[in-house]
């Protein structure tokens, strides 16, 4: 196989996949490769991070110009929320399929095809006229299918390229591009709409960026990246791995069916509870990402700060500010979460889920305060939304790292795919639509006014604060099982 920095010697040495172990003992202590990953691995990781940036920019182009799209296609709040729901539903339904393929077939080809597909569909969607709104809905669903191929497989490729210590760092860098890409999606959409006076141009930039990503993907990423599979029975003891000798060269990578993988994961309580915690995160972030700029616009109209938008191109300042907040808090949150987990693991083996639980509770409180002060102070609303997003972002890399050390390597693509399916099915697939439907119901029972347009969105958003509290509880439950499940994965 090609040199990916994961060197194996005859007989192959056990690759460390625990959260704290750093050495291998095979009869006596043997150091894991000290030379670190090759430079090529960092270049491959950079390509994957760049593609992740484009991935999430495509996710949040629609929320960045939501008011323009809503007016252009003449959509109600419920129908507007359905736009993101269609995207997420297709994304999550496709994820298990790509998880199955990623565990068994060439991941480079799957990634390349996915990037090409979603970039092409995004470009085509920029030419849809107002009479064919259903085609626009369909195009968002197809983009969701394309992005599922990437989000399912790319993290496992990074995990295979780097050893434990560097793996956490590189995954943190990879996941930084979730909030950065999300924020840039708002900025790109709002900026292009403002510069050109036509929101359609927002959908014509990321396809070009996707084409640029394909070139280094084809040139740099090898057809096969060596997977980290458990060859020996390993137990983590005081920073070393004691390996029970097995037949040299025999790898315990017996093929299992997809149903066997699912049954095994369903019995892994750390995976189950952390996935439900991630589901609560997805619910909140999906609702916030879709509706916050429109909510702020309605708050400003209710206060008389801005005039109602009647022209074709509306003021996009809220999307630009919210995009900037998303980028800044996302970078800071991911870095703080990864660093806190790295340092505190030395003190407490349960610290990862405890960090996630704490951040969810604090985030829920900040978001509730932001909703309550929106009618009196837009500045205070921005501040508390920023803190809410900051604490949500703390969890991104930590949750993925939990999955990677409580699930055996041969099931990780499937585990990520199932986590995507559950978290989106019960999370952000429905939350934008749910918020829109509640808002519609409140408006229907009251006289039409700008004040009730604002209140309807404010009251429907309160659901997110309560879901955030439930998410913190799920992560607390994870802490009760994580040590046992980590040891089981090492075995």
286 and 183, same structural domain?
A: no
Domain boundary among 203, 224, 245: 224
Burial class (CB in 10 A: 0-12, 13-18, 19+), 266: exposed
* pLDDT > 70: percent of the chain: 84
pLDDT by residue (tens digit) across 324-349? 898 899 889 888 988 888 888 888 88
The verdict on residue 3 lying in a domain is no
| Predicted confidence (pLDDT) per residue in 366-404, tens digit | 999 999 999 889 999 999 999 999 999 898 778 888 888
Integer Cα distance of 364 and 392 in angstroms: 9
Tell me what pLDDT residue 312 has.
57
How far CA 296 is from CA of 290, 321, 326, in Å, comes to 12, 11, 15
160 with 292, same domain: the answer is no
**Alpha-carbon gap, residue 221 to 489, rounded angstroms:** 28
Model confidence band, residue 128 (pLDDT cutoffs 50, 70, 90): confident
Percent of the chain beyond pLDDT 90? 18
Rounded to the nearest 10 degrees, the angle between the axes of helix 164-196 and helix 317-344 is: 180
Are 177 and 53 within 8 A, CB to CB?
yes
Q: Looking at the domain assignment, is residue 27 inside a domain?
A: no
Can you name the residues that pair with 145 across neighbouring β-strands? none
Specify the residue for token string 């870095």: 335
**How far apart (Å, rounded) are the C-alpha atoms in residues 329 and 46?**
21
User: Does 285 lie in the same domain as 351?
Assistant: yes
Quote the crossing angle between the two packed helices 412-423 and 396-406, to the nearest 10°. Answer: 140
Q: The tokens 């359905």 sit on which residue?
A: 82
Residue 461 CA to residue 35 CA, distance in Å, equals: 51
Cβ neighbourhood burial of 403 (10 Å; 0-12, 13-18, 19+): buried
Q: Note whether residue 81 is domain-resident.
A: yes
Shared-domain flag, residues 220 and 267: no
Residue 171 pLDDT > 60: yes
Specify the pairing of strand 28-31 against strand 23-26: antiparallel
For residue 165, the model assigns a pLDDT of: 66
pLDDT range class, residue 254, cuts 50, 70, 90: low
Residue 263 and residue 215 share a domain: no
Paired residues of 30 in beta bridges: 24
- Side-by-side strand order, sheet with 28-31: 28-31, 23-26, 240-244, 233-237
335: in domain? yes
Give the phi and the psi of residue 471 in degrees, each rounded to 5. Answer: -60, -40
**pLDDT band at residue 75 using 50, 70 and 90 as cut-offs:** confident
Q: Is the peptide bond before 430 cis (omega within 30 degrees of 0)?
A: no
CB 150 within 8 A of CB 114: yes
| 207 shares its domain with 340 | no
Question: How many CA atoms are closer than 13 Å to the CA of 124, on its beta-carbon side?
Answer: 15
pLDDT one-digit tens code per residue, 91-102: 878 877 887 787
User: Does residue 148 sit in the same domain as residue 265?
Assistant: no
* C-beta neighbour count of 307 within 10 angstroms: 9
- Nearest Cα residue to 155 out of 225, 71, 220: 225
Q: Which of 224, 246, 270 is where one domain is finished?
A: 224
Q: Find the length of the chain.
A: 491
Quick one: angle between helices 450-479 and 431-444, nearest 10? 140
| Residue 220 and residue 264 in one domain | no
CATH code at position 68: 1.20.1250.20
Instruction: Report the predicted TM-score, pTM, of the whole model to 2 decimal places.
Output: 0.72
Q: What gap in Å lies between CA 290 and CA 360, rounded to an integer?
A: 19
What pLDDT shows up at residue 176? 78
Question: Is the pLDDT score of 174 beyond 60?
Answer: yes
Highest-confidence segment of 251-260, 274-283, 297-306: 274-283
Same domain assignment for residues 188 and 299: no
| pLDDT higher than 70, residue 187 | yes
Residues 190 and 300 in one domain: no
Round the average pLDDT of the chain to a whole number and report it: 79
In a domain, 412, yes or no: yes
Q: Looking at the domain assignment, is residue 445 inside a domain?
A: yes
- Cβ pair 327, 184 in contact under 8 A: yes
Please name which of 1, 125, 146 lies closest in space to residue 73, comparing C-alpha atoms: 125
> Is pLDDT at 21 greater than 80 in this prediction?
no
Burial of 223 per CB tally in 10 Å (0-12, 13-18, 19+): exposed
Residue whose structure tokens are 């980028």: 327
Q: How far is residue 449 from each of residues 284, 303, 453, measured CA to CA in Å?
A: 27, 13, 6
In a domain, 242, yes or no: no
Q: Which of 283, 214, 211, 282 is nearest to 431 (CA)?
A: 283
Pick the range with the lowest mean pLDDT from 93-102, 232-241, 242-251, 399-408. Answer: 232-241
- Report how many domains make up the chain: 2
Note whether 218 and 281 are same-domain residues.
no
Does a structural domain hold residue 234?
Answer: no
Return the structure tokens found at 299: 């708050």
Residues 188 and 286 in one domain: no
In terms of Cβ atoms closer than 10 Å to its own Cβ (0-12, 13-18, 19+), residue 264 is middle
- Label residue 79 by pLDDT band (50, 70, 90): confident
Which pLDDT band holds residue 227 (cuts at 50, 70, 90)?
Answer: low
Q: At 240, is the secondary structure helix, strand, or coil?
A: strand
The two structure tokens encoding residue 193:
């709409």
Q: How many CA atoms lie within 13 A of 435 on its CB side?
A: 34
The residue range of the domain holding 272 is 258-490
The predicted pLDDT at position 12 comes to 37
* β-bridge partners, 25: 29, 242
**Cβ atoms 451, 302 nearer than 8 A:** yes
């Amino acid at each position: 196989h090609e040199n990916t920095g994961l060197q194996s010697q005859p007989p192959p040495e056990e690759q460390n996949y625990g959260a704290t172990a750093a050495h291998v003992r095979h009869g006596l202590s043997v150091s894991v490769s000290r030379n670190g990953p090759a430079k090529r691995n960092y270049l491959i990781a950079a390509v994957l991070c760049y593609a992740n940036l484009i991935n999430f920019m495509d996710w949040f182009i629609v929320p960045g110009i939501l008011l323009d799209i809503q007016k252009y296609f003449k959509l109600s709040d419920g129908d507007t929320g359905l736009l993101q729901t269609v995207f997420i539903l297709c994304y999550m339904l496709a994820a298990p399929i790509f998880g199955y393929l990623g565990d068994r077939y060439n991941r480079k080809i799957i990634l390349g095809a996915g990037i090409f597909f979603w970039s092409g569909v995004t470009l085509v969607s920029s030419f849809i006229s107002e009479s064919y709104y259903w085609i626009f809905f369909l195009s968002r669903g197809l983009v969701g299918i394309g992005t599922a191929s990437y989000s399912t497989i790319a993290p496992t490729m990074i995990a295979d390229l780097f050893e434990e210590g560097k793996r956490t760092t590189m995954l943190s860098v990879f996941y930084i591009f979730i909030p950065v890409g999300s924020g840039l999606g708002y900025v790109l959409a709002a900026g292009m709409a403002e510069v050109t006076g036509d929101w359609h141009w927002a959908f014509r930039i990321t396809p070009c960026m996707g084409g640029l990503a394909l070139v280094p993907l084809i040139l740099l990423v090898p057809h096969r990246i060596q997977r980290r599979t458990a060859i020996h029975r390993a137990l983590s003891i005081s920073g070393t791995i004691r390996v029970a000798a097995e037949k040299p060269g025999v790898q315990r990578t017996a093929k299992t069916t997809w149903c066997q993988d699912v049954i095994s994961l369903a019995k892994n309580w750390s995976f189950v509870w952390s996935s439900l915690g991630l589901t609560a995160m997805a619910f909140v972030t999906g609702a916030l990402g879709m509706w916050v700029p429109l909510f702020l616009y309605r708050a400003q109209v209710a206060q008389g700060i801005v005039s109602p938008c009647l022209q074709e191109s509306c003021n996009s300042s809220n999307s630009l500010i919210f995009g900037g907040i998303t980028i800044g808090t996302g970078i800071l949150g991911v870095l703080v979460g990864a660093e806190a987990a790295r340092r505190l693991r030395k003190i407490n083996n349960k610290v990862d889920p405890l960090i996630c639980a704490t951040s969810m509770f604090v985030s829920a409180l900040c978001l509730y305060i932001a909703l309550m002060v929106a009618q009196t102070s837009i500045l205070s609303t921005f501040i508390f939304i920023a803190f809410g997003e900051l604490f949500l972002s703390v969890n991104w890399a930590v949750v993925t790292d939990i999955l990677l050390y409580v699930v055996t390597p041969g099931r990780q693509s499937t585990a990520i795919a199932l986590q995507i399916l559950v978290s989106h099915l019960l999370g952000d697939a429905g939350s934008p639509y749910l918020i829109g439907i509640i808002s519609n119901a409140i408006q229907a029972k009251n006289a039409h006014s700008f004040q009730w347009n604002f209140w309807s969105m404010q009251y429907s958003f309160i659901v997110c604060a309560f879901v955030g509290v439930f998410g913190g509880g799920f992560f607390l439950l994870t802490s009760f099982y994580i040590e046992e499940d980590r040891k089981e994965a090492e075995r």
